[in-house]
Amino acid sequence: MINVSLDQTGSSVTILDQTKLPNQVEYRRLSTAEDIHEAIVHLRVRGAPAIGICAAFGMYVLSRSMPQDDRRAFLEGLSRAKEYLASARPTAVNLRWALDRMEKVASEASPALPVPKICEMLKAEALAIQKEDMDMCRRIAEYGLTLVKNGDGILTHCNAGPLATSRYGTALGPIFLAKERGIDLKVFADETRPLLQGARLTSYELERGGVDVTLICDNMASMVMKNGWIQACFVGCDRVAANGDTANKIGTSGVAILAKHYGIPFYVLGPSSTIDLDCPTGDDIPIELRAPQEIKEMFYSQPMALPETKCYNPAFDVTDHSLITAIVTDQGIFRAPYSESLRKIKKTNAWCDDQ
Ligand code: MRU
């Protein structure tokens, strides 16, 4: 199941609409900046790497309808599109990372190149971002698999599987790889209030992949840990700060605190594109706030709180680095002290060369 792809003609991006899962498998074509922005804001496409890939394809699609005979107007249009798409979601660094990469390709193209040729370079860059993500997820899966053994129980939160990336996923990568290799793991998936990514997406992906998965409400995590059913926690990440503090779906930090209490290792898995060495600590990570309706109304047949009841709905929280046993990336397994170990992350692409 491909979650984000570029149409043959290059005039639109097709996404699997994740808001319809698990009941309908529905694809949606995005051809305007507003379509792409809306799809990212409403989580039709979601998960840090996937929104970066979608935005990169989107930049190529949009570039084709920008002035083709005026390089300056073309670059200005591209820059406006980039800022607009980047504003869709602030926390996952992959979105801006991918958009910056795309803009850099255009702004550094040889002045001799005509704009249509620059558009072709943008297409190649977007495809490269997707391909690199597939490779990174595969490497994360290999490293992650070294941390567990046959029969282990794994608790995960939110969705960091193939739907959130390009293939394998990050936190779910080792689990799918284990399945391929005949290693049995038992997964407990937090339902992940309020948007139910764990129920709607993680349990769906694992069930369809033939993995032993048990869905639990978020407030049952302590119980399954106490029962001795969990040997490791695997979670994804939206941004890892230079000191190892990690932003991920709201509720992740609570899982980490519980894991520490029960002496269970807590692993964060993510591509090196999610590590933001320019962001010193978790306090510097912008946290997205979302609409109260997601708490009061969504998924209920009638509202479950009075209209005047106030809600606080942060989409992410930050797990303190002291609670993280290791950060598993495509470049290996990094351990504390993170301010030293994460500095060894290699800059693997053109975008990073001069950072
Ligand atoms: O709001 P979402 O559903 O986009 O949140 C996603 C997460 O928190 C994931 O764990 C994270 O993006 C990692 S995806 C590989």
Give the pLDDT confidence of 82-121 residue by residue, as tens digits: 999 999 999 999 999 999 999 999 999 999 999 999 999 9
CA 263 – ligand 1 centroid, Å: 25
Q: Ligand 1, closest atom to CA 288?
A: 1
pLDDT bin (cut points 50, 70, 90) of residue 346 is: confident
Q: Average pLDDT, stretch 245-270? A: 98
- For a mutational test of ligand 1's pocket, the pick from 16, 46, 137, i.e. the residue with the most ligand atoms closer than 8 A to its C-beta, is 46
Is the pLDDT assigned to residue 302 strictly greater than 80? Answer: yes
For ligand 1, say whether the CB of 160 is within 6 Å of any of its atoms.
yes
- For a mutational test of ligand 1's pocket, the pick from 170, 202, 248, 272, i.e. the residue with the most ligand atoms closer than 8 A to its C-beta, is 248
Is the pLDDT assigned to residue 352 strictly greater than 80? Answer: no
Is the pLDDT assigned to residue 147 strictly greater than 50? Answer: yes
What contacts 155, CB < 8 A, 6 or more positions away?
Answer: 187, 188, 190, 221, 224, 225, 230, 232, 233, 234, 255, 259, 264
Q: Looking at residue 40, what is its pLDDT?
A: 98
pLDDT bin (cut points 50, 70, 90) of residue 271 is: very high
Cα-Cα end-to-end distance for the chain: 35
pLDDT bin (cut points 50, 70, 90) of residue 347 is: low
The 10 Å CB-count burial string (b at 16+, else e) for 59-78 is bbbbbbebeeeebeebbebb
Residue 124: other Cβ atoms inside 10 A: 11
What are the distances in angstroms from CA 28 to CA 4, 33, 122, 163, 196?
10, 14, 22, 15, 21
Is 7 one of the annotated active-site residues of the chain? no
Q: Express each pLDDT in 132-146 by its tens digit.
A: 999 999 999 999 999
For ligand 1, say whether the CB of 166 is within 6 Å of any of its atoms.
no
Is the pLDDT assigned to residue 349 strictly greater than 60? Answer: no
Is the pLDDT assigned to residue 126 strictly greater than 90? Answer: yes
Q: Looking at residue 249, what is its pLDDT?
A: 98
Q: Average pLDDT, stretch 21-44? A: 98
Percent of the chain with pLDDT over 70: 97
CA 138 – ligand 1 centroid, Å: 18
How is residue 222 written in tokens?
């302590």
Query: SS3 of 335, please?
Result: coil
Q: Express each pLDDT in 160-193 by its tens digit.
A: 999 999 889 999 999 999 999 999 999 999 999 9
Q: Looking at residue 348, what is its pLDDT?
A: 57
Query: SS3 of 171, please?
Result: coil
For ligand 1, say whether the CB of 18 is within 6 Å of any of its atoms.
no
For ligand 1, say whether the CB of 46 is within 6 Å of any of its atoms.
yes
213 forms bridges with which residues in the sheet?
A: 187
Is the pLDDT assigned to residue 351 strictly greater than 80? Answer: no
What are the distances in angstroms from CA 275 to CA 133, 215, 240?
14, 29, 5
pLDDT bin (cut points 50, 70, 90) of residue 217 is: very high
Q: Looking at residue 166, what is its pLDDT?
A: 86
Is the pLDDT assigned to residue 332 strictly greater than 60? Answer: yes
Question: Exactly one of 238, 245, 276, 317 is catalytic; which is it?
Answer: 238
Is the pLDDT assigned to residue 76 strictly greater than 50? Answer: yes
* Nearest partner of 234 among 304, 152, 343, 112, judged by Cα: 152
Q: Give Cα 302 distance to the centre of its chain.
A: 31
* Nearest partner of 194 among 90, 311, 283, judged by Cα: 311
pLDDT bin (cut points 50, 70, 90) of residue 355 is: very low
Q: Looking at residue 354, what is its pLDDT?
A: 36
For ligand 1, say whether the CB of 16 is within 6 Å of any of its atoms.
no
Query: Which residue has the least CA distance to atom 7 on ligand 1?
Result: 249
Q: For the chain, what is the mean pLDDT? A: 96
Q: Average pLDDT, stretch 263-285? A: 97
For ligand 1, say whether the CB of 88 is within 6 Å of any of its atoms.
no
Quote the radius of gyration of the chain (alpha carbons, Å): 20
